[in-house]
């Protein structure tokens, strides 16, 4: 006599909780990590000879004074004047050096604003001489190129 099997068991792995686990992991990653996209102004520090070259060639001098005001080759100006002043010079010489000399008491934002403007003007050679270098080459202290 053959018995008829009444109960049929579904052979299936229950995957309902997989999504719950996965979403828990997603929440963990969202909370504990941050998008790695810190941004800023990239610069390459030159070799010492290069700085000397910038100091000795005909360069545009941008001075930042203690209250954040700037002067272009000795003439009092504003940050928005930088591009119009540099464009004809860069058209003649795309590798024109620009020296940025900041007062020690000036705010860092003033320097960043000037570098930002120079980047927008597509200046390739920006030189930021340190105080020690300025003292060493006192010849461009307080004067234009």
Partner 1 sequence: MRFKRRGSIRANIPSASMGDIAFLLIVFFIVTTTFSVDKTKVNLAESLEREATVPGAAIIVIDSDGNTFLSRGDRNPELRGIDDITVFALNLVARAPQTQFTIKASRDVEYRYIDKVLEQLRDVNARNISLLTIQRVRTSAG
Q: Which residues bind partner 1 (CB under 8 A)?
A: 15-16, 18-19, 22-23, 25-26, 29-30, 32-45, 47-48, 64, 80, 102-113, 115-116, 119-120, 128, 130-132
Structure tokens at 41: 């102004």
- Distances from the Cα of 53 to the Cαs of 119, 122, 135, in angstroms? 20, 20, 16
Q: Which residue has the tokens 């700037």?
A: 70
What is the smallest separation between the CB atom of 105 and partner 1, expressed in angstroms?
Answer: 6
Q: How far is CA 51 from the centre of its chain?
A: 20
Nearer to partner 1 by C-beta: 2 or 10?
Answer: 10
Bridge partners, residue 62, by sequence: 72, 100
Nearer to partner 1 by C-beta: 60 or 110?
Answer: 110
Nearer to partner 1 by C-beta: 58 or 135?
Answer: 135
What is the smallest separation between the CB atom of 49 and partner 1, expressed in angstroms?
Answer: 12
- d(C-alpha 72, C-alpha 59), whole Å: 11
Structure tokens at 106: 């000036």
What is the smallest separation between the CB atom of 19 and partner 1, expressed in angstroms?
Answer: 4
What is the smallest separation between the CB atom of 132 and partner 1, expressed in angstroms?
Answer: 6
Nearer to partner 1 by C-beta: 5 or 105?
Answer: 105
What is the smallest separation between the CB atom of 46 and partner 1, expressed in angstroms?
Answer: 8
Nearer to partner 1 by C-beta: 44 or 95?
Answer: 44
Burial track 51-67 (b if 16+ CB lie within 10 A, e otherwise): beebbeeebbbbbbeee
Contact 93, 133 (CB under 8 A): no
């Amino acid at each position: 006599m053959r018995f008829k099997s009444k109960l049929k068991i579904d052979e299936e792995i229950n995957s309902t909780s997989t999504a719950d686990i996965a979403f828990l992991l997603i929440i963990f990653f969202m909370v504990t990590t941050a998008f790695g996209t810190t941004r800023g102004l990239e610069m390459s520090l030159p070799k010492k000879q290069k700085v000397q070259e910038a100091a000795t060639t005909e360069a545009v001098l941008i001075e930042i004074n203690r209250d954040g005001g700037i002067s272009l080759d000795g003439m009092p100006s504003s940050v928005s004047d930088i591009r119009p002043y540099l464009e004809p010079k860069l058209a003649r010489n795309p590798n024109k050096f620009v020296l940025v000399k900041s007062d020690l008491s000036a705010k860092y934002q003033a320097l960043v604003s000037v570098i930002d403007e120079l980047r927008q003007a597509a200046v390739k050679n920006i030189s930021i001489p340190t105080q020690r270098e300025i003292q060493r080459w006192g010849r461009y202290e307080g004067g234009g190129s």
